[in-house]
Amino acid sequence: MITILEGTDGVGKSTAAIWLAEKGGQMIIHFGRPVPHGDPLEMYIGTLARYLLDGQVILDRSHFGSMIWARMGFHEPTMTPAIFRAVCRWHASQNAQASILVRPEADVAATLAARGEASEASLQAQRLYFQLVVHRGVLYHHLAIVASSVFHYDRINDGNEDHR
């Protein structure tokens, strides 16, 4: 099984991934911010398929971010809409569960300031995650937008719609 945790910097993806991995024994793959080169099909399907041979996987960021960061002009868009849909379809065929983590902008800014990171690009990215999910009709059977500032980690992916 694939659990995808997406969202901008400072929303709690890594914290949630670590907690889930400790609870369920899954391996975490942390993709980090997308790189401006490479083959997104190899990165988000090929690499993942190899790791799935060992069992369940938690993705700390995935292909959503490639669409977001390219749209913001940080790199050339190697993740086209057609490739994005292909990755979504493959993930769905693997029964992937995707969660887009969001937090109030002031909380994101405070977290990033504590790390010494700028927040404006991350706040812009968070707004774009909503647009991506709403306007592109993302193809997951299990997709949730989760307010991570009110997370109770024992309720993640338990089938309950209320993730507070």
Order of strands, edge to edge, in the sheet holding 97-102? 27-30, 57-60, 2-6, 97-102, 142-147
Output 52 or 132, whichever has higher pLDDT. 52
Whether pLDDT at 70 is above 80: no
Q: pLDDT exceeding 70 applies to what percent of the chain? A: 74
As a whole number of angstroms, the distance between CA 129 and CA 8 comes to 8
Angle between helices 120-136 and 105-115 (to 10 degrees): 140
Confidence (pTM) = 0.79
Looking at residue 146, its pLDDT comes to: 63
In tens, the pLDDT along 136-161 reads: 555 554 556 665 553 434 334 444 43
CATH 3.40.50.300, domain 2-155, yes or no: yes
Output 7 or 72, whichever has higher pLDDT. 7
List the domain boundaries for the chain: 2-155
Neighbours of 111 (CB within 10 A): 18
